[in-house]
């Protein structure tokens, strides 16, 4: 009888020793964080079951710990823990980390027994506590020679009769159009504005008196050769144009200078990010986002002059120096910086 009882006790002890070994076996759970109905409780919901985190407070300060986050936790099932609602298998996580993107969603998890858990899955490295994001802006200016110019010429006539002012203006404008079309380098000629304005004399105590009419006809002349700008102005003034309203220098073939400006602005932004990282005692881990504000040619001064009759007879061509156009580019990037903290 004693020998039988001793055998039973030995078997019971062996069972008690074997049970904890089975309970403490670690498993890996992959799923999404979900709050429980109990205050402060969290679940890891996988396709193969729900796991109630018994030590959620240990991970709640992590930036990725939030509802719906995809995580991977390694730990053990706690058979000695019970909750009020028992929404899932009590689980004490030893480690927990976020899982990367939609590629590792629960749709890809394989159904596995909750006691053994799914096989470990590859994921991104855990978020480091010293990882911060910085936003920097780079700006660059690139000079380029304009390849197109738009000259605005006007014919202005004045007469006591509106019909006479219009007729004289039409005759002189027609001569100007023929002259500028025949000039070298001209690509396009078009009317840009026409007006007929009455002129009044004003005396104190008396109503305004109509004195004359001013007719103005303006044309835009587009040149593909900037060097011919002065010649076109001279041709138009000799034909009857008596006002140069302005010059607009353009860059139509701007792909290469724009790309250079964007490249230099990007390099400046990267240099700023590295400077910030070095100041913090760390390094740039990766660039998260890049936004470019585009490369925009800055305006150049507008040329404007008034011509009399003598200007059209000058032997020396009107000098025009276009200078350089400045193209500005701006790039903003967000970089992750690993600090020493």
- CA count, 13 A, side-chain hemisphere, 14: 6
Residues 118 and 230 in one domain: no
Mean pLDDT of the chain: 79
Residues 140 and 265 in one domain: yes
Q: What is the pLDDT of residues 159-168, one digit of tens each?
A: 999 999 999 9
In a domain, 237, yes or no: yes
Stated pTM of the model: 0.50
Mean pLDDT along residues 171-181: 94
Q: What is the pLDDT of residues 1-10, one digit of tens each?
A: 444 433 433 3
Q: What is the pLDDT of residues 190-214, one digit of tens each?
A: 999 999 999 999 999 899 999 999 9
Burial of 142 per CB tally in 10 Å (0-12, 13-18, 19+): buried
Name the band, by pLDDT with cuts 50, 70 and 90, for residue 24. Answer: low
CA dist 254 and 206 (Å) reads 59
Residues 7 and 116 in one domain: yes
Q: Which residue has the higher pLDDT, 128 or 130?
A: 130
In a domain, 305, yes or no: no
In a domain, 321, yes or no: no
pLDDT at 15 over 80: no
In a domain, 322, yes or no: no
Residues 243 and 260 in one domain: no
Q: Which residue has the higher pLDDT, 89 or 108?
A: 89
Residues 139 and 264 in one domain: yes
In a domain, 272, yes or no: yes
- Per-residue three-class SS string for the chain: CHHHHHHHHHHHHHHHHHHHHHHCCCEEEEEEEEECCCCCCEEEEECCEEEEECCHHHCCCCCCCCCCCEEEEEEEECCCCCCCCCCCEEEEEEEEEECCCHHHCHHHCCCCCCCCCCCCCCCCCCCCCCEEEEEEEEEEEEEECCCEEEEEEEEEEEECCHHHHHHHHHHHHHHHHHHHHCCCCEEEEEEEEEEEEEEEECCCCCCCEEEEEEEEEEEEEEECCHHHHHHHHHHHHHHCCCEEEEEEEECCCCHHHHHHHHHHHHHHHHHHHHHHHHHCCCEEEEEEEEEEEEEEECCCCCCCEECCCHHHHCCCCCCCCCCCEEEEEEEEEEEEEECCC
In a domain, 314, yes or no: no
Q: What is the pLDDT of residue 322?
A: 80
Residues 239 and 162 in one domain: yes
φ/ψ of 184, rounded to 5, equals: -70, 145
Residues 14 and 110 in one domain: yes
pLDDT at 281 over 80: yes
The domain of 197 spans 148-250
In a domain, 195, yes or no: yes
CATH number where 176 lies: 3.30.70.2970
Q: Domain total for the chain?
A: 3
Q: What is the pLDDT of residues 26-61, one digit of tens each?
A: 889 899 998 887 666 888 998 878 888 888 888 988
Q: What is the pLDDT of residue 1?
A: 41
Mean pLDDT along residues 109-130: 43
């Amino acid at each position: 009888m004693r020998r039988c009882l001793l055998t039973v006790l030995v078997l019971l002890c062996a069972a008690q020793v074997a049970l904890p070994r089975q309970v403490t076996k670690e498993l890996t759970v992959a799923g999404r964080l979900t709050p429980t109905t109990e205050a402060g409780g969290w679940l890891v919901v996988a396709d193969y079951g729900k796991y109630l985190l018994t030590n959620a407070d240990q991970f709640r300060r992590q930036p990725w710990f939030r509802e719906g986050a995809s995580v991977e936790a390694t730990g053990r099932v706690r058979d000695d823990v019970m909750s009020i609602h028992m929404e899932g298998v009590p689980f004490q996580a030893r480690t927990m980390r976020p899982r990367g993107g939609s590629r590792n969603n629960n749709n890809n998890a394989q159904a596995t027994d909750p006691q053994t858990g799914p096989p470990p899955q590859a994921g991104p490295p855990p978020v480091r506590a010293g990882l911060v994001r910085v936003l920097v802006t780079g700006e660059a200016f690139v000079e380029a020679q304009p390849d197109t110019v738009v000259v605005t010429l006007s014919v202005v006539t004045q007469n006591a009769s509106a019909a006479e002012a219009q007729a004289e203006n039409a005759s002189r404008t027609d001569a100007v159009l023929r002259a500028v079309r025949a000039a070298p380098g001209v690509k396009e000629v078009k009317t840009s504005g026409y007006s007929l304005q009455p002129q009044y004399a004003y005396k104190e105590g008396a109503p305004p008196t109509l004195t004359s009419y001013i007719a103005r006809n303006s044309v835009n002349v587009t040149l593909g050769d900037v060097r011919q700008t002065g010649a076109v102005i001279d041709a138009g003034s000799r034909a009857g144009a008596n006002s140069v309203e302005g010059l607009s220098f353009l860059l139509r073939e701007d792909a290469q200078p724009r790309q250079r400006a964007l490249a230099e602005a990007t390099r400046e932004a990267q240099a700023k990010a590295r400077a910030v990282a070095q100041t913090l005692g760390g390094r740039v881990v990766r660039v998260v986002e890049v936004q470019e504000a585009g490369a925009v040619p800055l305006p150049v001064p507008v040329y404007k002059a008034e011509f009399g009759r003598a200007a059209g007879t000058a032997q020396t061509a009107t000098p025009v120096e276009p200078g350089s156009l400045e193209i500005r580019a701006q790039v903003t990037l967000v970089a992750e910086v690993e600090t020493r903290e």
